Structure 1
């Protein structure tokens, strides 16, 4: 069986071609941008969508209302869960691209802008703002419809507001040196990761993944381990446990229900894999996260 991801996209771009930065608004059945990197900063707000974000060799959950800032050269790819695709909703993202010197080499060296300079330095591995900010969301929507000086002022306001969340911003990329790749390699890896994200609730097959990568299985397994620092089965477990961390916080399901929803057939095996990856059991994780947030979940037996 071969896996062929479909492509379909509507794109709105704000601003003239000679502007110092670019704003794009994406409205799609699901996010289909490939695993990619570029020489600009990328600032993203997601009004509607959820799924998995692959950054470097890490997978994290993403959901509506979150904001991300990626430094130049950081490989990443947003992948919608199959459950989002099945809803028929529109995936929506507002993205701003800009270079470090888009306002001149010394602009962010001014005393008033030290906070933004430090923010841009710290986003080398990617930053995530998990807290929803209504004002920040409004600014993103406004910049998508603005031009010239209005858009520039909004961009500075967005960056300035992000500096106020210094303690809440999460680093999401890997701190280990990256494996150098070309566009062909990035395309190959993205197709495999997309296949895993689409099928982690079932039984992803390394033979199918190898066929997607146009490689024999033995060569593919070596390639995949080198590129992701995990075997194929380890990566599948990584995606499943990542999904479980979200369900443990957002759903009032018992552990067995979460286990089966993530693709596991055995609760004991799920508990072992979760503790191996996260360092604590699913119940301990839920307790710690709810305690820190002040929330309470009434578990459905």
Structure 2
């Protein structure tokens, strides 16, 4: 997986961009860019990476990301959607260097700082904002800008109950290009090889460090150990398999890189607070319409 530093350009008639993306092609590689990103993803199965957070998603979500926050949605399954993924990109100075320093925007400025960890919104405001994002695509430039300000207003007025942080409190955006490329290559190595034996030595070689130095380096950059990260990737993939496929728990464990089922069960519980059998049973109930969790 090659590291990607995405260069985003505004639309010809605007200082910011609004676009729609088909989910199968949406952000398949870990990347970052120098703009704020507001993304709406319709319900879809994906393994989401934002900062130091790895999670399987199976629901729609509205997320605000600050510049240089590494992220991707690795699609596990996509279906035809009536609503495409919607994305707005804007720079901090897209209306001048002092634009967000205006007192009228003080509430949104606070959210911009929180977005360094990534913000996931919830509640009724998601529906309201998505409706505005859809409208923007057909609006003339001035009306599009007014609609963007309306979105800023809705987010700024959101209570703490209407959003949650994604990356950990200790996570810091990777701004150094060398560090970013190393971490991206390591993420790629794990993503491509989670079903096999993950070698600490290989990961250390990718970073051009000794194993002990690599462990310290990875913890410094991500605020989690390399072993914890590998575990999260594997268990996230195991969750997807348990929910989507009628295969045995042992087959899922082996397919996700576990040769020892006791270890698989223990790590699954550590991440999900459930054992694999309970997890599979819960979502088989949901699929059959017997019970909704």
Fold shared per TM-score above 0.5? yes
Q: Given the alignment of the two structures, is residue 148 of structure 1 paired with residue 144 of structure 2, yes or no?
A: no
Asked if the contact 1:59/1:239 (under 8 Å) is kept, the reply is: yes
Q: Which residue of 1 aligns with 2:40?
A: 45
Q: Of 262, 265, 286, which residue of structure 2 is paired with 1:296?
A: 286
Gaps of 5+ in 2: none
Q: Which residue of 1 aligns with 2:27?
A: 31
Give the secondary structure class of the aligned counterpart of 1:233: helix
Give the secondary structure class of the aligned counterpart of 1:270: helix
Give the secondary structure class of the aligned counterpart of 1:276: helix
Q: Given the alignment of the two structures, is residue 14 of structure 1 paired with residue 11 of structure 2, yes or no?
A: yes
Q: Of 182, 185, 201, which residue of structure 2 is paired with 1:188?
A: 182
* Structure 1 position 26, deviation (Å): 5.3
* Structure 1 position 190, deviation (Å): 0.9
Q: Which residue of 2 aligns with 1:128?
A: 120
Between the aligned partners of 1:213 and 1:30, the Cα distance in structure 2 is: 27
Normalising by structure 1, we get a TM-score of 0.68
Q: Of 53, 69, 72, which residue of structure 2 is paired with 1:78?
A: 72
* Structure 1 position 158, deviation (Å): 3.3
Q: Given the alignment of the two structures, is residue 241 of structure 1 paired with residue 254 of structure 2, yes or no?
A: no
Asked if the contact 2:7/2:33 (under 8 Å) is kept, the reply is: no
Give the secondary structure class of the aligned counterpart of 1:170: strand
Offset from partner CA, 1:109-134 (integer Å, 9 cap, x none): 4xxxx5x5665465442112467956
Gaps of 5+ in 1: none
Between the aligned partners of 1:127 and 1:298, the Cα distance in structure 2 is: 33
Q: Of 46, 61, 70, which residue of structure 2 is paired with 1:66?
A: 61
Normalising by structure 2, we get a TM-score of 0.69
Judging changes above 3 Å, is the alpha-carbon distance between structure 1 residues 227 and 240 closer, same or farther for their aligned structure 2 residues?
same
The alignment covers a number of residue pairs equal to 277
Taking only aligned residues, the RMSD between alpha carbons, in angstroms, comes to 4.4
